[in-house]
């Protein structure tokens, strides 16, 4: 039955053609998808770059640039942590101390070094409850260098060298330094996390800094969330562990100057910092 065979052949050819068309379409779709994916990634990277450049626009009290970002732009919503911090070692540095008082609250006259120590000691207690071995650079306001030294500059240098030595010898998993910020514009507020960006432009600890910044932005009631910022910070260069400086808030903002001194807000800060550590380590 030649007629039937021809019909079948025609049908088969038609089916073949259909499959070829489907194959060509699939290939085109796949290529389009790849192009779109590459484009999105490149645009994302450019946006990040623009943000970073914008960050160098303003300078704050500790010489840190100020800028804001949308909340949770990186590692967004990472709160579910498994495992435990037990057995890890973390260095907690209460910024300033002794003759170096840090910034002074315009409203309350309170020294930054005192608030730093209060928060650092609360953080120590919270970390120890989680089984962390905490190494403090200072546990009170006494000098880290020789007490008889009268030159404030020499005294400060001896203090910094002692802190560097503690960090170097700690063999820790993380380094966290607690500070308070200030800025000429009193409306500027909110915590900001700083990481090491060397003069040569090399960056260290950005992943930890992002985890910490996101935890602070998510847990605390912040109107304008900030983004992380890099700087050539001396203590962040010591040891092999990732390290951050946490500027908990602005003494130059009257509302925040008072808030940062309340036990309730300090406890909230400590919980947020703990979240940041857990999100990064676990
Ligand atoms: Zn400071």
Type and span of the H or E element at 246: strand 243-250
Domain spanning 89-281, CATH architecture: 3-Layer(aba) Sandwich (3.40)
Taking the C-alpha atoms of residue 1 and residue 47, their distance in angstroms, rounded to an integer, is 69
Taking the C-alpha atoms of residue 186 and residue 207, their distance in angstroms, rounded to an integer, is 30
Taking the C-alpha atoms of residue 171 and residue 156, their distance in angstroms, rounded to an integer, is 24
Q: Considering the entire predicted model, what is its pTM?
A: 0.74
Residues 193 and 115 sit within 8 Å (Cβ to Cβ): no
What spacing in Å lies between the alpha carbon of 180 and ligand 1's midpoint?
Answer: 5
What spacing in Å lies between the alpha carbon of 100 and ligand 1's midpoint?
Answer: 10
The residue assigned the tokens 């992002």 is 210
What spacing in Å lies between the alpha carbon of 21 and ligand 1's midpoint?
Answer: 67
What spacing in Å lies between the alpha carbon of 97 and ligand 1's midpoint?
Answer: 10
What spacing in Å lies between the alpha carbon of 54 and ligand 1's midpoint?
Answer: 23
Crossing angle for the helix pair 206-219 and 263-281, to the nearest 10 degrees? 140
- 104, β-bridge pairs: 111
Q: Higher confidence at residue 105 or residue 64?
A: 105
Residue 6 structure tokens: 């021809």
What spacing in Å lies between the alpha carbon of 80 and ligand 1's midpoint?
Answer: 31
Model confidence at 93, in pLDDT bands (50, 70, 90)?
A: very high
Nearest to 115 by CA among 137, 129, 90, 97: 97
What spacing in Å lies between the alpha carbon of 61 and ligand 1's midpoint?
Answer: 8
What spacing in Å lies between the alpha carbon of 235 and ligand 1's midpoint?
Answer: 12
Residues in contact with 195: Cβ distance below 8 Å, sequence separation at least 6, in sequence order: 203, 204, 205, 206, 208, 209, 228, 229, 230, 231, 236, 243, 244, 245
What spacing in Å lies between the alpha carbon of 93 and ligand 1's midpoint?
Answer: 11
For the segment 53-65, the average pLDDT, to the nearest whole number, is: 42
Taking the C-alpha atoms of residue 36 and residue 17, their distance in angstroms, rounded to an integer, is 29
Helix, coil or strand: residue 252: coil
Predicted local confidence at residue 78, as pLDDT: 43
Residue 118 structure tokens: 């209060």
Model confidence at 163, in pLDDT bands (50, 70, 90)?
A: very high
- pLDDT tens digits along 200-229: 999 999 999 999 999 999 999 999 999 999
Type and span of the H or E element at 24: helix 2-54
What spacing in Å lies between the alpha carbon of 95 and ligand 1's midpoint?
Answer: 6
């Amino acid at each position: 039955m030649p007629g039937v065979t021809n019909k079948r052949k025609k049908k088969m050819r038609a089916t073949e053609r259909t499959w070829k068309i489907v194959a060509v379409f699939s290939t085109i779709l796949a290529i389009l998808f790849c192009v779109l994916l590459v484009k999105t990634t490149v645009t994302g990277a450019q946006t990040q770059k623009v943000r970073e450049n914008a960050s160098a626009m303003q300078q704050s009290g500790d010489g840190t640039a100020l800028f804001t970002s949308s909340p949770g732009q990186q590692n967004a919503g990472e709160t579910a942590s498994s495992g435990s911090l037990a057995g890890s070692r973390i260095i907690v540095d209460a910024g300033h101390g002794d003759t170096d008082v840090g910034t002074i609250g315009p409203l309350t006259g309170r020294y930054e070094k005192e608030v730093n120590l209060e928060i650092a000691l609360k953080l120590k207690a919270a970390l120890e409850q989680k089984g962390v071995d905490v190494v403090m650079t200072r546990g009170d306001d006494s000098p880290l260098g020789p007490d008889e030294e009268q030159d404030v500059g020499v005294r400060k240098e001896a203090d910094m060298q002692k802190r560097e030595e503690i960090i170097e010898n700690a063999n820790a998993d993380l380094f966290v330094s607690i500070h308070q910020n200030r800025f000429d514009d009193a409306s500027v507020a909110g915590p900001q996390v700083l990481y090491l960006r060397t003069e040569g432009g090399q960056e260290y600890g950005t992943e930890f800094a992002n985890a910490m910044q996101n935890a602070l932005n998510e847990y605390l009631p912040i109107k304008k969330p900030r983004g992380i910022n890099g700087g050539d910070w001396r203590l962040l260069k010591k040891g092999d562990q990732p390290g951050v400086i946490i500027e908990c808030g602005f003494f130059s903002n009257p509302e925040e100057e008072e808030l940062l001194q309340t036990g309730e807000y300090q406890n909230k800060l400590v919980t947020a910092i703990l979240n940041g550590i857990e999100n990064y380590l676990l």
